[in-house]
Amino acid sequence: AISNASNLVKRGSASLDRIEEILAAEETITNKPNPVILKEFNKSIEFRNVSFRYKEEYVLHNINLIIEKGKTVALVGPSGGGKSTLADLIPRFYDVMEGEVLIDGINVKDCEMHSMRSLMGIVTQESLLFNDTIKNNIAFGMPDKTEEEIIQAARTANAMEFIEQTVDGFETNIGERGSKLSGGQRQRISIARAVLKNPDILILDEATSSLDTSSERQVQDALENLM
Ligand code: ADP
Ligand code: MG
């Protein structure tokens, strides 16, 4: 027992070092003093002379783009072309080197981040799911939503059929990162989450690219319902 315990302590302390490294990492993207609180999205998202690089080489050069409210804009281009990077600049996951990203004419660097991001729903290739029930994964971050709203969101996302087939329905635990579900099912849970949030700005980054044709069709239909 003693040798086992010493083993556990060693493992724990190694993990602690790694966790501390993350907790202590410096936050480079922060709210400026007296940020603007965004309550709604009214006009447009604008990229004005935006250039961005991760390291030395520029990924985006002098991008100018206006996306008006109500419009659907698709970015098409080769892998590594910078599509995800451009999308990531809208919720300010990175700060631009030159130029500005504006929401309704306000620089995202001047916006209060939580209020700005709460206007957005994001569905990517990798769905961010947690070791919890289907219901809690759909309502993640939205504790005030009712059962009825959650069911409605699952229906819009084309997820109802497979949820009803599980033994515990909405109470089914989906495993670490949703490992007990298929790729298409995970995507539809993510879409249900976006539907429930009903955001003004919806960012989809290859939401269907890892799926087979029939799952893709279902997810595509779900996305159309959402929009
Ligand atoms: P796309 O989504 O169009 O395939 P990305 O925006 O993911 O393209 O990538 C654009 C370029 O930026 C690529 O050359 C890629 O290697 C680089 N890149 C993407 N993410 C990072 C990162 N976190 N750190 C460094 N370079 C990155
Ligand atoms: Mg990409």
**Is residue 141 in contact with ligand 1, taking CB distance under 6 Å?**
no
Rounded Cα gap, residues 141 and 193, in angstroms: 9
pLDDT band at 35 (very low <50, low <70, confident <90, very high): very high
Report the pLDDT value the prediction gives residue 209, as an integer from 0 to 100: 73
DSSP, residue by residue, 167-215: SSGGG-B--GGGTTS-HHHHHHHHHHHHHHH--SEEEEESTTTTS-HHH
- 3-state secondary structure (DSSP) of residue 111: strand
**Is residue 82 in contact with ligand 1, taking CB distance under 6 Å?**
yes
pLDDT at residue 127 tops 90:
no
Residue linked to tokens 């290859």: 206
Ligand nearest to the CA of 89: 1
Mean pLDDT, to the nearest integer, of 46-59?
95
Nearest CA to ligand 1 atom 6: 82
Report the pLDDT value the prediction gives residue 218, as an integer from 0 to 100: 79
48: Cβ contacts below 8 Å, ≥ 6 apart: 64, 99, 100, 101, 102
The string of pLDDT tens digits covering residues 193-219 is: 988 998 999 999 988 776 778 878 877
Cα 41 to averaged position of ligand 2 atoms, centre (Å): 25
- 3-state secondary structure (DSSP) of residue 218: helix
The string of pLDDT tens digits covering residues 20-34 is: 999 999 888 999 999
> Which of 55, 60, 63, 84 maximizes ligand 1 atoms within 8 Å of its Cβ, making it the mutation to test the pocket?
84
Rounded Cα gap, residues 60 and 52, in angstroms: 5
The string of pLDDT tens digits covering residues 145-193 is: 999 999 988 988 888 888 999 889 999 999 888 888 888 889 889 989 9
Rounded Cα gap, residues 18 and 2, in angstroms: 25
Chain-centre distance for alpha carbon 94: 14
Ligand nearest to the CA of 93: 1
Nearest CA to ligand 1 atom 22: 54
Rounded Cα gap, residues 116 and 118, in angstroms: 5
